[in-house]
């Protein structure tokens, strides 16, 4: 089997030429056990033994999976309490490993996307058979009662179920499985509860895919969004005693590339000491995005319907983000130039006792708006200590490195910082800005230091590494990562490459095929 793509805990696996998981088997692919002690067989590409049914066991207690040589079964997947199910999901790969397929018997089509998102590989059509027998027709995962007697409902529903699984697989390939899950959760309390409780598990263990988030109200719980928000606590602005400038977000990402932000920048550039202004954009669902973090996923990868209204939950989210940024500690004052959001932002800043000026420009990027902005910034930063571009660059690198690498970030920023945001910032010969990585991308020299400072590393077999690293070439690993994180490649005790992980740690060992690391730099 070969993993083709991951999203969350979901895997798109190539089993053989014509078979991919998540896969649905039909009842004819199952055989019965002759007694209660064995489990019968299941035919995926070939018939394999199922583990015995969980007689006498308490489904609320670990181990949650029943294992045979090749299959792990999640019994009661359709009835486990949402929170319990998420807890089980956090144990899936620990109990089953990566070489067993995970089968969830007798689940409803509407539960399949979320279960796939949490790591289930194989489903069956047992519930579809029961629905068909009572005259219900399947359409995109939901049921409609048909009044006319249809002779062939079972085979029609069976085909529709195949299409539903195809949709799940395509979504994993495209990185849009979460959208499909959100759609099925809309009027399904069970799926929404599971989705709600799975956020932190997905942040911790889910694959990070730099795909566009087409946001809506549900996206406030998107793991990438929540992760970004939480890590804002790690972030520090470039220097002390700056002036905070809050700007609206833009449709074009990263914001600094948009026409409105170019105009803002050209306007403030004309003011003396403009480097003392720190631009933070206000947006939903992310909240606050400081300029240095605009490359970081998902700040440059989302799209949301702009209504100009802030819902109560969005306002609360913004309040929380301000408490993470702690503007009262870092800035002398704040200027708010965010159009229709200005009033709310000003209130939130004043709640935190920040000296705040609202430009009150209704159209922030119009020429009138820009004039007002220039006027106000000029007076506001007139008496602020001068910030040199060198100090500012150093601060930018520290802030970004801390956001990306957390505690171990000093290994990067103790080097000589040069250039400036956005594209030319460098940490000596250790790291440069990389939109692909989403922030500071390590060089091979940086990778060696990263590994020495506790960064995750992979030991590969001894061969000349050219191009990417595949699972077959992985010998062992050290440390933890999620798919999408940077990992260091070592061979014979020497660092020979650095790249982006495409499989989970244990999975690289279990799989005989597939891309393990997208290598960015070779020694």
Partner 1 sequence: MPKAFVPLTQFVNESKLTPREHPLDQPVARWTEEEVLGEEVVEAGVAILRTRGCYWSIKEGCSMCGYFNDTVPGGVSTDMLYSQWKKIRHSLKGKRYAKIYTSGSFLDPTEVPLDFANDVMSDMADMGIEKVLVESLPEFVHPKHFSYSNSPKIEIAIGLESSNPVVLDKSVNKRLLWPHFVKVCEIAHENGAEVKAYVLLKPPYLGERDAIEDAVQSATDAAPYVDKISINPVNVQKNTVVEKLWFRDEWTAPWLWSVVEVLERCKDLPAKVYSDPTGGGTRRGAHNCNDCNSKILDALKEHRLGHGNLKGLECECRPRWEVLKHQSSYRRNGAEPHGYRRGFGNGRRF
Give the residue from 222, 128, 142 showing the smallest Cα distance to 188.
142
Total residues at the site for partner 1 (CB under 8 A)?
39
Give the residue from 188, 192, 184, 128 showing the smallest Cα distance to 155.
128
Judge residue 425's burial from the number of C-beta atoms within 10 Å of its C-beta, 0-12 exposed, 13-18 middle, 19 or more buried: buried
* Stretch of residues binding partner 1 (CB under 8 A), selected from 74-82, 158-166, 222-230, 391-399: 74-82
Query: Could you tell me the smallest distance in angstroms from the CB atom of residue 122 to partner 1?
Result: 13
Residue 479 engages partner 1 in binding (rule: CB under 8 A): no
Among 4, 14, 15, 78, indicate the residue that binds partner 1 (CB under 8 A).
78
Query: Could you tell me the smallest distance in angstroms from the CB atom of residue 35 to partner 1?
Result: 7
State how far the alpha carbon of 15 is from the alpha carbons of 117, 165, 206, in Å.
18, 15, 22
Cα–Cα dist 242/249, whole Å: 21
Give the residue from 372, 369, 310 showing the smallest Cα distance to 344.
310
Query: Could you tell me the smallest distance in angstroms from the CB atom of residue 50 to partner 1?
Result: 8
Residue 27 engages partner 1 in binding (rule: CB under 8 A): yes
* Stretch of residues binding partner 1 (CB under 8 A), selected from 25-33, 194-202, 343-351, 431-439: 25-33
Per CB under 8 A, which of residues 129..158 are in contact with partner 1? Answer: 129-131, 133-136, 143, 145
Among 37, 186, 305, 312, indicate the residue that binds partner 1 (CB under 8 A).
37
Residue 36 engages partner 1 in binding (rule: CB under 8 A): yes
Residue 435 engages partner 1 in binding (rule: CB under 8 A): no
Contacts for 507 with CB less than 8 Å, ≥ 6 apart: 3, 93, 98, 471
Closer to partner 1 by CB, 54 or 479: give it. 54
Cα–Cα dist 514/498, whole Å: 18
Cα–Cα dist 412/427, whole Å: 6
Contacts for 432 with CB less than 8 Å, ≥ 6 apart: 425, 426, 440, 441, 443
Closer to partner 1 by CB, 129 or 478: give it. 129
Residue 108 engages partner 1 in binding (rule: CB under 8 A): yes
Please provide residue 349's backbone torsions phi and psi, each rounded to the nearest 5 degrees.
-70, -40
Contacts for 81 with CB less than 8 Å, ≥ 6 apart: none
Residue 111 engages partner 1 in binding (rule: CB under 8 A): no
Among 9, 13, 24, 73, indicate the residue that binds partner 1 (CB under 8 A).
73
* Stretch of residues binding partner 1 (CB under 8 A), selected from 78-86, 110-118, 245-253, 338-346: 78-86
- Residues interacting with partner 1, by CB under 8 A? 27, 30, 32-33, 35-37, 40, 53-61, 73, 75-76, 78-81, 105-106, 108, 124, 126-127, 129-131, 133-136, 143, 145
């Amino acid at each position: 089997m070969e993993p083709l793509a991951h999203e969350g805990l979901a895997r798109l696996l190539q089993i053989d030429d014509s078979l991919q998981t998540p896969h649905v088997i039909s009842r004819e692919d199952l055989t019965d056990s002759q007694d209660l002690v064995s489990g019968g067989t299941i035919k995926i590409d070939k018939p394999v033994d199922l583990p015995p049914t969980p007689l006498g066991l308490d489904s609320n207690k670990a181990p949650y999976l029943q294992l045979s040589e090749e299959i792990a079964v999640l019994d009661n997947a359709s009835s486990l309490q949402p929170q319990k199910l998420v807890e089980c999901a956090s144990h899936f790969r620990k109990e089953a490993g990566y070489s067993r397929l995970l089968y969830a018997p007798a689940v409803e089509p509407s539960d399949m996307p979320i279960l796939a998102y949490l790591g289930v590989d194989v489903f069956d059509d047992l519930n579809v058979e029961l629905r068909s027998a009572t005259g219900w027709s399947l359409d995109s995962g939901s049921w409609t009662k048909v009044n006319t007697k249809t002779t062939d409902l079972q085979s029609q529903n069976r085909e529709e179920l195949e299409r539903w699984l195809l949709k799940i697989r395509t979504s994993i390939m495209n990185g849009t499985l979460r959208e499909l899950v959100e759609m099925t959760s809309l009027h399904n309390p069970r799926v929404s509860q599971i989705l709600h409780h799975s956020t932190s598990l997905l942040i911790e263990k889910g694959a990070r895919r730099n795909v566009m988030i087409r946001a809506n109200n549900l996206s406030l719980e998107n793991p990438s969004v929540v992760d970004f928000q939480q890590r804002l606590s790690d972030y520090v602005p470039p220097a002390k005693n700056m002036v905070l400038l809050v700007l609206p977000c833009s449709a074009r990402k990263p914001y600094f590339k948009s026409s409105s932000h170019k105009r803002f920048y050209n306007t403030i550039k004309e003011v003396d000491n403009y480097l003392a202004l720190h631009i933070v954009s206000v947006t939903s669902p992310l909240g606050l995005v400081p300029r240095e973090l605009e490359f970081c996923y998902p700040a440059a990868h989302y799209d949301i319907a702009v209504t100009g209204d802030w819902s109560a939950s969005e306002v609360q989210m913004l309040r929380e983000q301000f408490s993470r940024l702690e503007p009262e500690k870092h800035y002398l004052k704040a200027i708010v130039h965010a159009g229709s959001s200005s009033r709310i932002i000003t209130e939130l800043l004043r709640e935190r006792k920040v000296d705040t000026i609202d430009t009150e420009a209704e159209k922030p990027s119009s020429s009138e708006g820009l004039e007002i902005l220039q006027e106000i910034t000029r007076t506001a930063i007139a008496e602020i200590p001068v910030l040199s571009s060198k100090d500012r660059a150093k601060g930018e690198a520290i802030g970004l490195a801390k956001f990306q690498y957390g505690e171990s970030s000093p290994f990067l920023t103790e080097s000589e910082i040069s250039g400036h945001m956005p594209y030319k910032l460098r940490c000596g010969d250790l790291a440069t800005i990389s939109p692909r990585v989403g922030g500071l991308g390590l060089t091979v020299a940086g990778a060696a230091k990263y590994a020495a400072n506790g960064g995750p590393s992979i030991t590969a077999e001894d061969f000349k590494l050219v191009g990417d690293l595949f699972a077959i070439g992985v010998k062992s690993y050290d440390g933890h990562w999620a798919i999408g994180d940077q990992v260091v490649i070592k061979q014979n005790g020497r660092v020979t490459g650095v790249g982006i992980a495409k499989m989970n740690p244990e999975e690289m060992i279990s799989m005989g095929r597939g891309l393990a690391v997208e290598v960015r730099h070779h020694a």
